[in-house]
Structure 1
Amino acid sequence: MQVILTQDVKNLGEKDDVVSVKPGFGRNYLIPQGHAILATESARKVLAENIKQAQFKQEKIKKDADAIAARLVDVKLTIGAKAGESGKIFGAVNTIQVSDALKKLGFEVDRRRITFETDVKFVGDYIANLNLHKEVKVQVPFAVVAE
């Protein structure tokens, strides 16, 4: 079954991608939740026209993402968290804290675009993956220190 995604779906694709999914997944989840529409001939034509019109806007967004990525290359963040004597953090460091730390340095990155390779539950050095654009991804190292 071919569907057109109306928004980003993790592990499936980005908005406006045409993807093949199992019929049950498409009919019972993606379409009722508003994540996708059927990829009929008319829907494909509308999608092509929308992509054509949005191409200029996407180029500008990609240029901005490249500029941010170039500035983020040398950035190393430090995030403070309450921790016990063994170095285990009370709770965990989340994407909101990384987004706030980037905001203090002058970078506006949405928290939903930040992921971690491992759970951040101990004091130490980690890497945050920033998906600034479909084609622009940056890894920013950060250190978690005990407060």
Structure 2
Amino acid sequence: MKVILTQAVPHLGQAGDQVDVARGYARNYLIPRKLAVEATATHLRSLQQLKAQGRQREERLSQEADSVAERLRSLILTFARAAGDQDRLFGSVTSSDIAEALAEQGIRLDRKKIVLEEPIKAVGRHAVPVRLHRDTVASIQVQVVSESGSVVF
């Protein structure tokens, strides 16, 4: 029996896949749990429409991510923090700090998209990657200066 999966099913496929399964498996397990629907002409048409909408949405999101990436590449964020003798910060610059600074610049990003392995704890210039979309990664220049005013490059 041919069914269209509405959710990802392990060892069977992803949502939107059309698969051939045993009639009993479809009627007793997949369809009652709303994991799949029978592959009728109506369902196939609606699946095609959903896939087309998904492609358009994905393309739009990709274009938006590219435009934000261009803005981020030309941006340098500067943070002033208290530092010790060896240019080690007493605090740190975290992804939340970077997200707040970007929001002040008019760029709203979730802090989870900022790929910071560990907080920045040294004075200087750091390149911080930002994952904007599945295929789009931009790099922000973050400059950390000592509150006393010395800049290290």
**What TM-score, normalized to structure 1?**
0.64
Aligned twin of 1:45? 17
Tell me by how many angstroms 1:123 deviates: 0.9
**Does the residue aligned with 1:38 lie in a helix, a strand or coil?**
coil
| Cα distance between partner residues in 2 of 1:51 and 1:98 | 36
Are the counterparts in 1 of residues 95 and 119 from structure 2 also a CA contact under 8 Å? no
Aligned twin of 2:69? 69
Structure number with greater Rg is 2
Are the counterparts in 2 of residues 87 and 146 from structure 1 also a CA contact under 8 Å? yes
Q: What is the alpha-carbon root mean square deviation over aligned residues? A: 2.7
Aligned twin of 1:145? 145
In the TM superposition, 1:1-147 aligns within 5 A as 38-41=10-13, 45=17, 49=47, 52-116=52-116, 119-147=119-147
| Cα distance between partner residues in 2 of 1:98 and 1:64 | 20
| Cα distance between partner residues in 2 of 1:67 and 1:42 | 30
**Does the residue aligned with 2:112 lie in a helix, a strand or coil?**
helix
Tell me by how many angstroms 1:92 deviates: 2.0
Tell me by how many angstroms 1:85 deviates: 2.8
Aligned twin of 2:4? none
Q: What are the ranges of 5 or more consecutive residues in structure 2 without an aligned counterpart?
A: 1-6, 19-35, 37-46, 148-153
Tell me by how many angstroms 1:43 deviates: 5.0
Tell me by how many angstroms 1:95 deviates: 0.3
Q: Match of 1:133, as an amino acid?
A: H
State how many pairs are aligned. 112
Aligned twin of 2:31? none
Which string of whole-angstrom CA distances, capped at 9 and with x for unpartnered residues, describes residues 34-83 of structure 1? xx851414756279x56554221111111111111122221111012222
Q: Match of 1:135, as an amino acid?
A: D
| Cα distance between partner residues in 1 of 2:142 and 2:15 | 44
Q: Match of 1:110, as an amino acid?
A: D
Point out the more displaced range, 135-144 or 75-84: 75-84
Q: Match of 1:59, as an amino acid?
A: E
| Cα distance between partner residues in 2 of 1:93 and 1:144 | 8
Quickly say closer, same or farther: Cα 1:88–1:42, change in 2 above 3 A: closer
Q: What are the ranges of 5 or more consecutive residues in structure 1 without an aligned counterpart?
A: 1-15, 17-35
**What TM-score, normalized to structure 2?**
0.62
